[in-house]
Amino acid sequence: MVLYQPLFHTGGCGYYLLGSVQGSRKIVLMRQFDAQIANALSESERAVLFGGVPTMITAMLEADAAVPRDFSSVQAIGSGAALASPELIRQACDRLGCGFFNVYGQTESSPLLTASRSTDPFEDLCETVGQPVSQTEISIRDPATNGVAPLDTIGEFCMRAYSVTLGYNDNPEATATAIDAQGWLHTGDPGAMDSRGFVRVTRRVKEMIIRGGENLFPAEIENILLEHPNGAEVAVVGVPDMRMGEAAAAFVRLVTGAKFDPSALVAHRRADIAAQKTPTRWIELDEFPLTGSGKIQKFVLRDRWMAGEFG
């Protein structure tokens, strides 16, 4: 295991580090993530797992395009923290010739709640976070009543397991809010479960854009834009709009050598979903602001927009 995920993050420490120890696997620990070095070590150390958050997978594939490596030892590609786009899944599987899986979790659950399998249908890999992991109960609950929601009905994603935290340090109020009297951890994420037990985390409430009274979900827009051959990374963020309340701003990093052409991206976008879901602001970036664990900091993009940085 080449471990380049930060150890201050539950994924790096709880999932990758302790999971490797439990499986008696060798760990090669990197001081910090560097895509080229991660690829080189994966080749030289014959790593069996490739992955991380989607931005890491994207960076490693781009580094491989510049300096190809031998990934024949890799048995699976794993992703977490955010759903990988269909295009990224296709690119990774085509390049490495192995299966893909994604996971969903929280620090408070130590961390995994659900996981998919590399043998799951492609649609499930793209649209769900898999099924509950071992010894874990998942319940989609009505926020108003805390009762169980019907199948395929959106409610709050809740879980119960031996791995749930006992509470927040010296903060009983926050503990009581997050963990109810029946022991259910309330994640705060809306989701739905189908009859097979596959869970869809439908959106992050904080990221939802309300444009003229209509709800827009950034992940849906981002996945379409990433299907365009010039799109390397995309983040869709809600920004203030005097007429509509909010507008969708698309921050785009292009593949090397591509020309920034918003009209082409709009045309590509309009071919797939409704016109009102098309971003009205387009900004090209050379790189995205990232958290320490490699996730795009959308709030930073919004703050920079509000400060007038993008004109």
Please, which pLDDT band fits residue 196 given cuts at 50, 70 and 90?
A: very high
Question: In which residue are the tokens 């709050």 written?
Answer: 156
Residue 173 lies in a domain: yes
**Dihedral sign computed on CA atoms, order 296, 235, 256, 55:** positive
Residue 120 lies in a domain: no
Question: In which residue are the tokens 């990232």 written?
Answer: 290
Task: Tell whether 184 and 247 lie within a shared domain.
Answer: no
Task: Tell whether 194 and 213 lie within a shared domain.
Answer: no
Q: Give the pLDDT mean for 173-199.
A: 92
Last-in-domain residue among 68, 97, 126: 97
Which range marks the domain in which residue 225 is found?
A: 205-306
Task: Tell whether 167 and 237 lie within a shared domain.
Answer: no
Residue 126 lies in a domain: no
Last-in-domain residue among 201, 220, 235: 201
Residue 32 lies in a domain: yes
For 253, phi and psi rounded to 5 degrees?
A: -110, 125
- Tell me the pLDDT tens digit for each residue of 233-252: 999 998 888 777 788 999 99
pLDDT value for 168: 93
Residue 292 lies in a domain: yes
Residue 102 lies in a domain: no
pLDDT value for 204: 59
Measured CA to CA, the distance from residue 29 to residue 17 in angstroms comes to 9
Task: Tell whether 209 and 182 lie within a shared domain.
Answer: no
Last-in-domain residue among 201, 232, 258: 201
Task: Tell whether 237 and 261 lie within a shared domain.
Answer: yes
pTM confidence score: 0.74
Task: Tell whether 60 and 84 lie within a shared domain.
Answer: yes
Please, which pLDDT band fits residue 55 given cuts at 50, 70 and 90?
A: confident
Please, which pLDDT band fits residue 202 given cuts at 50, 70 and 90?
A: low
Q: What is the domain count for the chain?
A: 3
CATH number of the CATH domain containing 87: 3.40.50.980
Residue 177 lies in a domain: yes
Q: Give the pLDDT mean for 117-146.
A: 92
**76 close to 100: Cβ distance less than 8 angstroms:** yes
Residue 254 lies in a domain: yes
- Tell me the pLDDT tens digit for each residue of 257-308: 888 888 888 888 777 777 778 888 999 999 999 887 778 888 899 999 988 9
pLDDT value for 77: 95
pLDDT value for 241: 83
CATH number of the CATH domain containing 175: 2.30.38.10
- Tell me the pLDDT tens digit for each residue of 66-120: 999 999 999 999 998 777 888 899 999 999 999 999 999 888 988 899 999 989 9
Measured CA to CA, the distance from residue 50 to residue 47 in angstroms comes to 7
pLDDT value for 215: 73
Which three-class secondary structure string do you get for the chain?
Answer: CEECCCCCCHHHHHHHHHHHHHCCCCCEECCCCCHHHHHHHHHHCCCCEEEECHHHHHHHHHHHHHCCCCCCCCCEEEECCCCCCHHHHHHHHHHHCCEEEEEEECHHHCCEEEECCCCCCHHHHHHCCCEECCCEEEEEECCCCCCECCCCCCEEEEEEECCCCCCCCCCHHHHHHHECCCCCEEEEEEEEECCCCCEEECCCHHHCEEECCEEECHHHHHHHHCCCCCEEEEEEEEEEECCCEEEEEEEEEECCCCCCCHHHHHHHHHCCCCHHHCCCEEEECCCCCECCCCCECHHHHHHHHHCCCCC
